[in-house]
Amino acid sequence: MDTGTQDPVVAALSRLVAAGVIRHELTRESGRRLRWVEAGGAGPPVVLISGAGEVGLDWAVVLPTLAERSRVIAYDRAGLGASAPVSRLTLDSQVRDLVALLDDIGPAVLVGHSWGGLLAELAALARPDRTRGLVLVDPFHEDTTAEVPLALRVASSIVLTALPLLKAIGLFNRVAANMGRELARRCTDDPMTQALVTQAYLASYATYAQVVTIRTENRLANACTRQVRAARATSAVPDVPMRLLTATRGKPAALQQRSRDLAEQTAARFQRGAHVVVPDSGHYIHKEQPAAVVDAVLAVLAEADRETP
């Protein structure tokens, strides 16, 4: 472990977290490195799992508050941020990486957004012994794909196909800079810290290969239905506290209703599951309504703590 003095993500997060942030690396097959950062220290680990194509820094709005109450870990999946790419990126490889992280740090509360929510659920099904609780933040569900309007699917496919070209000609960096500045604005009013967060965001997508990984991850969502259904059908649901948060804005009406219905079904599968609809929030609840995410995590932590012998 180290303080990551040359790591722009550690530098940015350390400005937001009073006690600082530590960088770690987990060695995986063929010596590839999976980078994760840690803040806080007391209480069971809380692992933050970002959406498709996104990095650990994406949790910068809620991480400092959670670090006041527990040990918080955010990692970059293979091929994104400071984590080395895997030879073949698959749903299985992503779940295996997450389980390997849990094996290293011990049983944890898993907090996943969007695609990360699905990964959290699959890791919990695969290793209930390493799962103390779940918070799924507007999670991806494989059965929502059919409800996405055709025009939106076509537009999304075009954008994903074009991402590497946009990176090659420099347009991607402009978009990433705007997204980094927006994330920084939500984190702090301090101009120096905002600049560090923006720089860290850009550093997370500095290479052509990282941008290709964004496309690959997003395409996994369109090809995972059969595999995820099989995992759900053959795995026992762990008896852990669980909260599922859904957004109220940003989706076509049919997709919004379908998402809520699937959220209810998912929460009902857990004996201690609860579905919470978050008012006035789009898909990125942890940025737009961070208090709702913090409250859900603290509730799950409190319940998990009561079960500790």
> Quick check: 178 pLDDT over 70?
yes
Mean pLDDT for 22-26 is 96
At 291, which amino acid appears? A
Q: CB–CB of 272/242 below 8 Å?
A: yes
Range with the largest mean pLDDT of 114-128, 151-165, 255-269: 114-128
- d(CA 11, CA 16) in angstroms, rounded, equals 9
How far, CA to CA in Å, does 205 sit from each of 110, 124, 133, 178, 198? 25, 29, 31, 13, 11
Class of domain 8-150+225-306: alpha beta
Q: How confident is the model at residue 152 (pLDDT cuts 50, 70, 90)?
A: confident
Average pLDDT over residues 193-209: 97
Supply the pLDDT for residue 1.
41
Mean per-residue pLDDT over the chain, rounded: 93
Distance (Å, whole) CA 110 – CA 104: 14
The pLDDT of residue 260 is above 80? yes
The residue ranking higher by pLDDT, 41 or 63, is 63
**Span 48-76, average pLDDT:** 97
Q: How confident is the model at residue 174 (pLDDT cuts 50, 70, 90)?
A: very high
Report pLDDT for 6.
80
Q: What's the CA gap between 165 and 155, in Å, rounded?
A: 16
Question: Is residue 19 over pLDDT 60?
Answer: yes
Q: Average pLDDT of 45-68?
A: 97
Q: Looking at per-residue confidence, does 140 or 250 come out higher?
A: 140
Q: Is the pLDDT of residue 132 over 80?
A: yes
137 bridge partner residues: 113, 245
What is the pLDDT, as a whole number, of residue 3?
Answer: 45
Q: How far apart are CA 98 and CA 103, in angstroms?
A: 9
d(CA 245, CA 285): 8
Lowest model confidence (mean pLDDT) among 80-94, 203-217, 248-262 = 248-262
User: How high is the pLDDT of residue 308?
Assistant: 60
The pLDDT of residue 309 is 52
What is the pLDDT averaged over residues 122-142? 96
Predicted confidence band of residue 251 (pLDDT cuts 50, 70, 90)? confident
Q: Is the pLDDT of residue 142 over 90?
A: no
User: What does the pLDDT look like over 267-305, one tens digit per residue?
Assistant: 999 999 999 999 999 999 999 999 999 999 999 999 998
Q: Closest Cα partner for 116 from 55, 205, 186?
A: 55
The three state secondary structure string of the chain is CECCCCCHHHHHHHHHCCCCCEEEEEECHHHCEEEEEEECCCCCEEEEECCCCCCHHHHCCCHHHHHCCCEEEEECCCCCCCCCCCCCCCHHHHHHHHHHHHHHHCCEEEEEECHHHHHHHHHHHHCHHHEEEEEEECCCCHHHHHHCCHHHHHHHHHHHHHHHHHHHHCHHHHHHHHHHHHHHHHHCCCHHHHHHHHHHHHHHCCCHHHHHHHHHHHHHCCCCHHHHHHHHHHCCCCCCCEEEEECCCCCCHHHHHHHHHHHHHHHHHCCCEEEEECCCCCCCHHHHCHHHHHHHHHHHHHHHHHCCC
Which is nearest to 266 in space by CA: 242, 249, 248? Answer: 242
How sure is the predictor about 4, in pLDDT bands with cuts at 50, 70 and 90?
very low
State the pLDDT at residue 146. 64
- What is the bridge-based pairing of β-strands 242-246 and 131-137? parallel
Average of per-residue pLDDT across 42-49: 92
- Is pLDDT of 11 > 90? yes
